């Protein structure tokens, strides 16, 4: 498909899917695969939308994320810092770095680019969570 018009953050021919298979430590998130990876361009370009008061999974992995906020505002944990994020802001998540996105009072929508060849996310162990909670700002922020 050459051209996919967009209406209100929904794209012709792009299904609105569950964020992950099955239940998990996330809330109110949808996944939209805007462009599949291919041999010619080995990166998958997705759009995630987090409903008000929702959050993505707190996780880490060897692959990196490149993110651009398309709508709304929210906060993002990357490593040991919580960033206030808004429209068109860029976020880079380095390898093996804990990260989580939370929406504000309106839907938070962001583009997220990943390599086609990538590892599966890891969830924090109880020890990881204890270590993350050592920082008060992180302790207040994370949802597990």
Binding piece for its own copies, criterion CB under 8 A, among 23-31, 33-41, 48-56, 128-136: 33-41
Lookup: tokens for 57? 């999974």
**Alpha-carbon span 144 to 141, nearest angstrom:** 10
Q: Are 110 and 67 in contact (CB under 8 A)?
A: yes
Side-chain half-sphere CA neighbours of 20 within 13 A: 15
11 is an interface residue for its own copies by CB under 8 A? yes
Residue tagged active-site, from 112, 132, 138, 142:
112
137 is an interface residue for its own copies by CB under 8 A? no
Q: Comparing C-alpha atoms, which of 31, 100, 29 is closest to residue 61?
A: 100
Which residues from 77-96 bind its own copies, rule CB under 8 A? 78-79, 81, 83, 85-95
135 is an interface residue for its own copies by CB under 8 A? no
Q: Tell me, what DSSP letter sits at residue 59?
A: B
Per CB under 8 A, residues contacting its own copies are 1-6, 9, 11, 14, 34-35, 38, 40-43, 45, 62-64, 66, 68, 70, 76, 78-79, 81, 83, 85-95, 111, 113-115
Please identify every residue annotated as catalytic: 112
């Amino acid at each position: 498909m050459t051209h996919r018009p967009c209406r209100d953050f929904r794209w012709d021919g792009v299904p609105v899917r569950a964020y992950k298979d099955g239940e998990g430590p996330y809330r109110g998130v949808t996944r939209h695969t805007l462009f599949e990876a291919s041999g010619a361009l080995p990166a998958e370009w997705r759009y995630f939308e987090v409903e008000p008061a929702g959050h993505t999974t707190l996780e880490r992995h060897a692959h990196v994320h490149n993110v651009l906020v398309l709508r709304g505002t929210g906060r993002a944990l990357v490593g040991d810092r919580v960033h206030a994020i808004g429209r068109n802001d860029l976020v880079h998540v380095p390898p093996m770095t804990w990260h989580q996105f939370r929406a504000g009072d309106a839907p938070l929508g962001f583009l997220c680019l990943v390599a086609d060849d990538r590892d599966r996310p890891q969830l924090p162990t109880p020890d990881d969570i204890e270590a993350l909670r050592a920082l008060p700002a992180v302790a207040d922020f994370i949802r597990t």
